[in-house]
Amino acid sequence: MFKIGNVEIENNVCLAPMAGICNSAFRRIIKEEGCSLVFAEMVSDKGLIYNSQKTKDMLYCDECERPIAQQIFGSDKDTFVEAAKMVYEIMKPDIIDINMGCPAPKVVKNGDGSKLLLDLPKAYEIIKEVVKSVSIPVTVKFRKGWDNDNIVAVDMAKIAEDAGASAITIHGRTRSEFYSGTADWNIIKSVKENVNIKSKASEKNNHFKFFKEMKAEVKRITWPSKDDTKKALIAVGVICSNFLSCS
C-alpha cells in the first residue's frame, strides 16, 4: 500500500488514462481484475467551461471505481482552474491529473498537452493554481521533452513538486517521437533522483516481451530503496497498443 496525497492505493497496479478507452465500463472491468487505481480518459477544460454535455458525460463514475483520478487538459490557467473545480463538484474524483504530455496535433495546436513543455513558467502557474483550487491531490503527467533540443523532464518534475503536485507520471519519449522507438529509462531514473514526490513511468507497447523488459528497467532505476517515495510500481499491460502505467 502507498499514498498519493491522502489517497491510499492498495497495490502497485494502476490503469493509465487512455483516450477513447477508459470509460466507466472499462474501468470497472479493470477494477474487478484487481487494479488499485484507475485514471479516467482526459477531458477538455474548455469543453467543461463551455458546458459541453458530451464532456460532462465523460465524468460519470461508479463508486466501485474508487480510488479514481480524472485527467484534464488545457493551457489557460483560469479555465483550467474553473474546470478543475467543475470536475470536483460533478464527479468528486479522488485525484485530479493534469495532462502535459499528450502529443496529438489537435491538442498541441491549441497550446495544450505536451506543448506546455515549451513554457515551463506557464506550466508551473497552472499546476500551482489548480492545487490551490481543489481539496484533493493533484498529479501531473508529462513527457521527456518537446524534442531532442528541449529535454526538460527533470526541470518539469521539480516545477511540479514546487507547485504542490502530489505525484508525477513521466513518459520517456519526446513529443516529436510520439510512440516510436523505446522509452528513455535513464531520464526517468534522473527524475526520480531529483524529486521526492511519488513518480510513475508511462509507456506504450504491444509486445508481451516488453513487459518483462519494463519490469527489469523499473527495478534497475528504483530498487533497492529505503524511501517509499523512490520505489516504483510495476507496469501491467491491459490491452494491446495502449498505455501502461507504473509508479
Query: Which residues does the annotation mark as catalytic?
Result: 102
Cα separation of 65 and 170, whole Å? 24
Three-class SS state of 242: coil
* CA separation, residue 14 to residues 68, 86, 205, 224 (Å): 10, 24, 16, 21
Residues constituting the chain: 247
The bridge status of strand 2-4 relative to strand 7-9 is antiparallel
Q: Which alpha helices (DSSP H) does the chain contain, by range?
A: 24-32, 45-49, 53-57, 77-90, 105-108, 120-133, 153-163, 185-194, 208-222
CB 68 within 8 A of CB 15: no
Cα separation of 204 and 212, whole Å? 14
Q: Which of 13, 11, 10 is nearest to 27 (CA)?
A: 13
Upstream peptide bond of 137 is cis (omega within 30 degrees of 0)? no
Cα separation of 201 and 178, whole Å? 15
